[in-house]
Structure 1
Amino acid sequence: MKVARFSNCVSALALVTALAAGAPAVAQQAPTQQAEPDGLEVVIVTASGGNRTQINSSVSVTTVNAQAIADFKPSSESELLRMIPGIQVAGTAGPGGNSNIAVRGLPVATGGSPFVQIQEDGLPTVLFGDIQFGNNDYWTRFDASVANVEGVRGGSASTYASQAPGAVINYISNTGAQKGGYVQLNTGLGFDENRLDFRYGSPISDQTRFHIGGFVKKGAGPLDPGYDVSNSYQIKGNLTHDFADDKGFFRVLFKIADTQEPNYTGSPALATISGKKVSNIKAFPGFDGRKNSNYSVYNKDFLIFNRDGVLERVAMDGITTKATALGGQLRYNINDNWSVDNNFRWTDMSGGFASPFLNVTTRASIIGSTISRPGLPNATVASIRYAAGPRAGQTFTDTYVDNNVNVRTNIRDIGSTANDFKLTGKYDTGFGALTARVGYFYMKQDIAMDWHVNKSLREVNGNNPSQLDLFDAAGNKLTQEGISGYNNNWGDCCARDYDLSYTNTAPYIALELDAEKFALDGSVRFESVKARGTTVAGGSEFLVNSGGVQIATIRANGARERLGYTRDYTSWSVGALYKVNEDTSLFVRSSKGGRFNGDRQTVSGKINADGSLTQAGRTASVDFVNQDELGLKNRGDLLGGRYTLELTLLQGDFKQSTFELSATRCPGGAGGCVIDAKYESSGAEAYATYRNGPLSVIGNATYSNAKISRPTSTGGSGPFTRAPGIPDLSFTVAANYDLNDKITLGVSSTGQTSSIDDAGREYPGAAILNATAKYQIRDNIELSLSAYNLFNKFDLRGNGGVADPTVNPTVISGNPALGRTVTAAIRYTF
């Protein structure tokens, strides 16, 4: 069946090639305009040898420059990633992160981005993309210091990077080759948020240059919780010295970041459900997810039972990060044939995750339920009262409540040391240029955390919801500040404390032959990951006196697991490129990339008492992704303008074994389960640009036929069915038009077709429209106005679940895109 699908891909690509070859003939009817440098002429530096332009490389790669990103005005880091074809992410998690980043129809089984690596200047910010409560989108922020974002999907991502068989996304810094910079102040219109972006770079001498840039941000944000949940700054800089006689360069880089941003955990909504089809989705009365969240001034701090065994009050401050990073890059050309590259970075990094998760249930289901009190009789809930706010102490009578967790995870240490070394030799064989490359990658990743997941109850209200307290029939208080349990929301799995380290070493070899009309390449990577450290799970429940109320509590003093194992595996990739002409190339590629399961492998029953892996653990410790690709890259003249087109047809499959800590996907709704499944996908991804005088357009689209096979009750593989959370088609397009030398207007849209949830319910697709207007007051002063989701579309991208099927319309939950959000900015360029 896979062969048949790939044959269809070949046929489709042949048709597109024929059309592309004919495009220049159409353009010849119009006056020829001089070709400007385009994205296909950019030299790829991500997950590659760094010596090929895009059009002459046999990989799927896209470069998005800083201006295109600024014109698009993404609402979050994850929505920025929607500008890269093949990357499938809802873009609704908010500025703090915690997105589920899928790629090429390879779904995310639990959370994070297991097959996608995010890099800054060629090195990963964290080794694993799906660290529990530490996803890789926490640690990177697009700001004015970034020159462009480059995304390599499949192919060489398997062999030029570790833990990234799906994709590598690289934030590449501006290095100050040209003197200048800007300061820009952004402010929210109708909401409290201010952000200052700045950058400046310049040559210091003929051989030395520098660049520095960053941002400062503060405010309550568009989903106003009544307090400043955004409070961030980041500064990045570098100093480059170029060696004489084009011998290379040496660069020193630094980064200092202290960020605090909210993550959005969803909202209730109303919908019509007929069978498995969900339609007519609209906002829930009193809680509109386009403009509300369940952050609240009445829950901006809360109590946890900490790792020292005492109650501690902590801030509900979203996702916080603190990072100090120092790095160095060296390129030295030994002679005409040999060169050395080395990229090093040391990072001291920590943070936290504090968020009120959302789950809508009925008040009636709470009344009459029991509260666990170890050593005492269980208590029966007879009434609910407001715990804070203007109605504190009054009886709560609403139909629905939010009974999900107040979570606080302390990320004590997530620092790392990374180094990537390459030795490259180039020779002319007479048949073509032969390049041999030998490299060695090293990264030590520390992960130390303690989890605190409190059982919590609050009202379903988008305007500063109050926590809710429970009482028995005698009027005795059963909860404290809306908390009925410390560290026990998902059972003893998740009152966790661990201190782990993973050391990844990987020698790799690559060969390339570049002839006049074709190029061949192959690469192999030999991974070895050493896991060390300890994990402690929760023990038995006991009672803690919290303000006179006995609260059931779990502490991380249960089963102790010691890690002491090493896992070796191999990844490979081979590709071929045919140069049709200087404006068209075709490529084919096949790859097998491995991805190591890090901290999600712990507390899963797959590690022996001596620290080694069980046989099941050994099988599950590495997930392999197989991919086949067929691609076209083309550029030319069209209707008086210039276009570029990148199209890749692909198919892939993988298996994944991962730990799910919540009840999100666990059978029966229990927390703490291992999910083993197989996936396969076929589809296409496209990226195109067009420039014609004052008009510029960029766009991408990703089509996926993604399927999942879940294990049966007997342990076998079930049938392949449609994978949840992956739309058939997702797209992003942006266009700008210079009316004159003073005014520029822009529109952009991002959207997707329908997707299903874990129960197979199909949620409709949608698209939102954004608009921008810029006015050049003077040559160096620009005013701009940007509207995100101009028509205030209720776009429920992160489909959730059914909260109450007994009413019409049905109460559901999910993650909608932000509603209409308008910002103004003034930029001074110098």
Structure 2
Amino acid sequence: MNQSKQFALSSVALAVLTLVGQAQAAGQAVPQDATSGVVAQEIQQVVVTGTASASGTRKIDTAFSITTATEEQLKSASPSSTADVLKLVPGVYAESTGGQSGANVEVRGFPSGSDSPFVSVQLNGNPIYPVPVLSFFEGTSAFRLDDTIARVEVLRGGPSTIYSVGQPGATMNFILKKGEDTPERTIRLTTGTGKLRRGDVFIGGKIAEGWYGTVGGFYRQTQGVRDPQFKADDGGQLTASLTRKLDGGELTVYVRATDEKNAFYTGVPLISSNNGRTISAFPGFDPLTGTLMSNEMRHFTIDAAPGKTLERDLADGRGMRAAVWGANYEQEIAGWEVSNKANYFRGDLNTISMFTGDNPLTAADYLAAANRSHNPTAATASGSMTYVNGGGAVDRDQQVVQAGLWSVEKQLRSFTNELRVSREVLAGHTLTVGGYYANYESDDEWYLGNAHLMTATPNARLINASLTNGTVVARNGKSGNVFYAPVASYKGDNLALFLADEWKISDRLRVDAGVRREKQRLEGAVSNLASGDTDNDPLTVYNNNTSIPTGFFTRLERDDSVNSFTVGGLYKLNKDASVFVRANKGNTFIYFDDLRNAGTQAALNDRNGVPNPEVTQYEIGFKTANSLYSAYINAFYTDFTGISFQQITTNAVLNSVSGSRGHGVEFELAVRPIKNLQVSLTGNYQKSEYRDNPAVTGNEVQRQPNFQFRLSPSYRIPLGDNSVKLYGTYTHIGDRFADQANLSYLPSYQTVDLGALASIGDKWEVRVAATNLTNELGLTEGNSRLTGAQSSGPINARPIFGRAVEASLLYRF
């Protein structure tokens, strides 16, 4: 372990011992009137995610790990996307370098190769879409941040295994603002790097006696930090809610509609050396702001079948055109606390995007490889390469690269409902009984492959290539076929019943336990595929052996049942400090893509091809908050079995099954040594390794840093009726491996963010924030389209975004 890890972990350990000792000492708590308003709110903060009662529990009094962020904390973090909010959460590593959608998120000790299978995204306590991940869809892609959000709560493990979707990983619950007696009306204008133009509006307040409402949303356009020569983000969102106060409760209905196009960024050319330990810029390519995408390839054609071509637009990216309607009902009736949460989601979440393929090479090397494959008797340099736009010969030393222009159309629909009733049935025993139901669908049409030959330059130029024997290797840039083109429709139903009991043994000691029984039924129809030549010309090799649906389908179905449980205990050291322990066993079911892949994985598992993953977790933690400091610290252990992996390479879909074990410590610390100054430290250290698969057993779980932390100071300067808050964050992300084989190394990196918020009276706010101020070059993934070592010479990999600055002006009216 290096010195930085030893120092940080020693500091955390010392902090734990010191804080526990202080919390146990009588009279150590700072008087309530000495705390600031913000700290007082933290001490009394109530969370609703993972609690048995719909009314929630004080954060300090919960026997599980949960991170919260207010609206101001969210804005101070300057998240680039919904997934990027997770940088605030210890134990979670979010790769948000793809843009607004398509993030990869890793949760402490949970093995995952891509997307976000162990993160469920909720709105007002109900999942937006009940399945956390499908191929080319993950939960954060279905959510956009704006000024209608009051706060977010992120639960890790804990009792989430028995409530709602039963997610054993992380549950990300966004809480909408509701109208209050005091009206709130704001307009925010934002500009920044990449010609960002954004407007936000929010109006909320009392409509009539007992009736409250809100309406708000945003519209934005930007070229993006990586300018693709067309709008990277273009669109907006509108949200409205209506609340009716009831005797002992309330009913809230809401609707949110989003229509936005978002560019999706994959890898760019880089130079790797020192066995992958050193990453540097590729000649002529700025890895912090460059992208291969360009107007030249924006509108592209897919050769789908003989006589069938499809036109696509890269500007559509990984966008979203969808709406969610929801209703939350909470009321106490005859001593019973009743809660029902329901929503309906429908939308198109398509992926029209570039996916990088083979690593860069010279034009001469590309021609040599083409001759070996299609003209073996000719000299290796035989043939010609010309630019599609403008003609002209391509220099033999010009670096070129192939990238696929993929099309995945995905139409999603779902309905979810959770009903709970709670009551104190015996002295100190509060019983909760509930049920959860989800019905969901996905209709898919995929065209993967469609490789194009282009220069390895920012906003690349397309290239034609032909050989002396008449073979056309690339025409109009197109250099590869569609290698996988399934058409599929899927349906799923989940029904779960759960029972929980909370036993208040004394004023200091409380224990809880819960069980869940869930059944899932999946069915689907997937097209059979054949290979064909779309133009019946064997010399145009770029479209030979194209994957083509036959018009016949294979029916798929599967039924599963699982049991989950949780048990925990909390002991209060004093009013605002506690320790807790927690154990649980949770499950995630297989999803539609696992069902489709079952045939190829049959040899790996004799239960219909793909197992249902199961995880056992143990936690022990400490929580406290007062005017001088706050601390949320927990140690964890995870034991995972039966997780299936899928990797889509340049020409195939690979599958495997593994398990893992992991342990570590997470920490959220803050000290307030003087008035208006706060310094916080959040992060985690963890060690997780694969098992149950001889090919990877003992290797580190891919993409997860063993050590990461964020150091964030902030200082508020009062200026009469005005004030200025200065804040910043230093982030360290430790080294990782990009692949299960631990052959592709991802070096550690550090970033610096700075910001300032000026409050002018009670009407105006001006905020300026900069992310990655030092233009650090850090990688979030290697070339996921290739297998094996990729640690020397030119590579494709996905770096973090370069320096970005935003400025916003808010007016309250």
Deviations 1:382-424 (A, max 9, x none): 44534444x534324345322232111011x211011111111
Deviations 1:480-519 (A, max 9, x none): 322234421xxxxx21110001111111111111231111
When normalised by structure 1's length, the TM-score is 0.88
Q: Could you say which residue in structure 1 is the equivalent of 2:63?
A: 58
CA drift at 1:803: 9.4
Would the aligned equivalents of 1:372 and 1:379 in 2 still touch at CA under 8 Å? no
User: Cα–Cα, structure 1 residues 461 and 816, in superposed 2: closer, same or farther, change >3 Å?
Assistant: same
1:213 aligns with 2:203: no
Distance (Å, rounded) in 2 between the aligned partners of 1:13 and 1:264: 40
Q: Could you say which residue in structure 1 is the equivalent of 2:171?
A: 168
User: Cα–Cα, structure 1 residues 175 and 371, in superposed 2: closer, same or farther, change >3 Å?
Assistant: farther
Distance (Å, rounded) in 2 between the aligned partners of 1:27 and 1:754: 40
Deviations 1:781-821 (A, max 9, x none): 22222211111111223344899999997323322211111
Moved more, 589-598 or 721-730: 721-730
1:456 aligns with 2:451: yes
CA drift at 1:165: 0.7
Distance (Å, rounded) in 2 between the aligned partners of 1:379 and 1:537: 40
Would the aligned equivalents of 1:451 and 1:487 in 2 still touch at CA under 8 Å? no
CA drift at 1:354: 1.4
Deviations 1:427-484 (A, max 9, x none): 451xxx2111111111111111111123323334442101222211156644332223
Q: Could you say which residue in structure 2 is the equivalent of 1:131?
A: 134
Would the aligned equivalents of 1:680 and 1:706 in 2 still touch at CA under 8 Å? yes
Matches within 5 A, 1:88-99: 88-95=93-100, 97-99=101-103
Distance (Å, rounded) in 2 between the aligned partners of 1:30 and 1:816: 48
User: Cα–Cα, structure 1 residues 373 and 260, in superposed 2: closer, same or farther, change >3 Å?
Assistant: farther
Q: Could you say which residue in structure 2 is the equivalent of 1:16?
A: 16
RMSD of the TM alignment (CA)?
3.4
Distance (Å, rounded) in 1 between the aligned partners of 2:775 and 2:382: 41
Of the three residues 438, 446, 449, the one matched with 2:441 is: 446
Deviations 1:1-42 (A, max 9, x none): xxxxxxxx9xx9798245433278997899972364243532
Of the three residues 501, 507, 531, the one matched with 2:491 is: 501
Q: Could you say which residue in structure 2 is the equivalent of 1:791?
A: 774
1:436 aligns with 2:431: yes
Deviations 1:105-126 (A, max 9, x none): 2131x32111221111111122
Q: Could you say which residue in structure 2 is the equivalent of 1:683?
A: 664
User: Cα–Cα, structure 1 residues 393 and 527, in superposed 2: closer, same or farther, change >3 Å?
Assistant: farther
Q: Could you say which residue in structure 2 is the equivalent of 1:410?
A: 409
Q: Could you say which residue in structure 2 is the equivalent of 1:304?
A: 302
Distance (Å, rounded) in 2 between the aligned partners of 1:806 and 1:526: 43
1:154 aligns with 2:157: yes
Count of residues in Structure 1 that have an aligned counterpart in Structure 2: 785
Distance (Å, rounded) in 2 between the aligned partners of 1:263 and 1:501: 27
Distance (Å, rounded) in 2 between the aligned partners of 1:31 and 1:120: 33
Q: Could you say which residue in structure 1 is the equivalent of 2:262?
A: 261
Of the three residues 709, 721, 729, the one matched with 1:731 is: 709
1:102 aligns with 2:106: yes
Of the three residues 330, 348, 351, the one matched with 1:350 is: 348
Distance (Å, rounded) in 2 between the aligned partners of 1:647 and 1:251: 35
- 5+ residue gaps, structure 2, are 1-8
Deviations 1:273-331 (A, max 9, x none): 14xxx333222222222111122111111112458972021111210111122111111
SS at match of 1:85: coil
Deviations 1:712-765 (A, max 9, x none): 37xxxx642222211111223433222233432221233311112324344321
1:757 aligns with 2:738: yes
User: Cα–Cα, structure 1 residues 15 and 142, in superposed 2: closer, same or farther, change >3 Å?
Assistant: closer
Q: Could you say which residue in structure 1 is the equivalent of 2:82?
A: 77
Would the aligned equivalents of 1:111 and 1:130 in 2 still touch at CA under 8 Å? no
CA drift at 1:694: 2.3
Q: Could you say which residue in structure 1 is the equivalent of 2:4?
A: none
User: Cα–Cα, structure 1 residues 212 and 604, in superposed 2: closer, same or farther, change >3 Å?
Assistant: same
Q: Could you say which residue in structure 1 is the equivalent of 2:252?
A: 251
Of the three residues 561, 569, 583, the one matched with 1:590 is: 583
- 5+ residue gaps, structure 1, are 1-8, 489-493, 664-668
Q: Could you say which residue in structure 1 is the equivalent of 2:319?
A: 320
Would the aligned equivalents of 1:78 and 1:93 in 2 still touch at CA under 8 Å? no
SS at match of 2:588: strand
Would the aligned equivalents of 1:766 and 1:795 in 2 still touch at CA under 8 Å? yes
Would the aligned equivalents of 2:746 and 2:781 in 1 still touch at CA under 8 Å? no
Q: Could you say which residue in structure 2 is the equivalent of 1:6?
A: none
SS at match of 2:319: strand
Moved more, 21-30 or 510-519: 21-30
Q: Could you say which residue in structure 2 is the equivalent of 1:5?
A: none
Q: Could you say which residue in structure 2 is the equivalent of 1:616?
A: 606
SS at match of 1:39: helix
CA drift at 1:597: 1.2
SS at match of 2:175: strand
User: Cα–Cα, structure 1 residues 41 and 30, in superposed 2: closer, same or farther, change >3 Å?
Assistant: closer
Distance (Å, rounded) in 1 between the aligned partners of 2:551 and 2:472: 29
Distance (Å, rounded) in 1 between the aligned partners of 2:425 and 2:698: 48
Q: Could you say which residue in structure 1 is the equivalent of 2:688?
A: 706
SS at match of 2:613: strand
CA drift at 1:558: 7.7
CA drift at 1:700: 1.6
User: Cα–Cα, structure 1 residues 260 and 710, in superposed 2: closer, same or farther, change >3 Å?
Assistant: farther
Would the aligned equivalents of 1:600 and 1:659 in 2 still touch at CA under 8 Å? no
Q: Could you say which residue in structure 2 is the equivalent of 1:538?
A: 529
Distance (Å, rounded) in 2 between the aligned partners of 1:234 and 1:31: 41
Q: Could you say which residue in structure 1 is the equivalent of 2:5?
A: none
SS at match of 1:82: helix
Would the aligned equivalents of 1:728 and 1:754 in 2 still touch at CA under 8 Å? yes
Would the aligned equivalents of 1:187 and 1:825 in 2 still touch at CA under 8 Å? yes
Would the aligned equivalents of 1:804 and 1:811 in 2 still touch at CA under 8 Å? no
Percentage of pairs with the same residue: 23
Q: Which amino acid aligns with 1:681?
A: G
Moved more, 110-119 or 550-559: 550-559
Q: Which amino acid aligns with 1:574?
A: V
User: Cα–Cα, structure 1 residues 123 and 308, in superposed 2: closer, same or farther, change >3 Å?
Assistant: farther
SS at match of 1:161: coil
Deviations 1:197-235 (A, max 9, x none): 221210223421111222111121111111113112111
SS at match of 2:584: strand
Would the aligned equivalents of 1:601 and 1:621 in 2 still touch at CA under 8 Å? no
1:563 aligns with 2:556: yes
CA drift at 1:567: 0.7
Q: Which amino acid aligns with 2:666?
A: E
Matches within 5 A, 1:633-672: 633-638=623-628, 643-663=629-649, 671-672=652-653
Q: Which amino acid aligns with 2:496?
A: A
Deviations 1:40-63 (A, max 9, x none): 532221132233211111111111
CA drift at 1:545: 6.8
User: Cα–Cα, structure 1 residues 802 and 231, in superposed 2: closer, same or farther, change >3 Å?
Assistant: closer
Would the aligned equivalents of 1:804 and 1:810 in 2 still touch at CA under 8 Å? no
Q: Which amino acid aligns with 1:184?
A: R
Would the aligned equivalents of 2:743 and 2:790 in 1 still touch at CA under 8 Å? no
Distance (Å, rounded) in 2 between the aligned partners of 1:733 and 1:442: 41
Distance (Å, rounded) in 1 between the aligned partners of 2:212 and 2:381: 68
When normalised by structure 2's length, the TM-score is 0.90
CA drift at 1:64: 0.7
Distance (Å, rounded) in 2 between the aligned partners of 1:439 and 1:285: 60
Q: Which amino acid aligns with 2:47?
A: I
CA drift at 1:710: 5.8
Q: Could you say which residue in structure 1 is the equivalent of 2:6?
A: none
Would the aligned equivalents of 2:689 and 2:697 in 1 still touch at CA under 8 Å? no
Of the three residues 119, 123, 131, the one matched with 1:120 is: 123
Of the three residues 816, 825, 828, the one matched with 2:799 is: 816
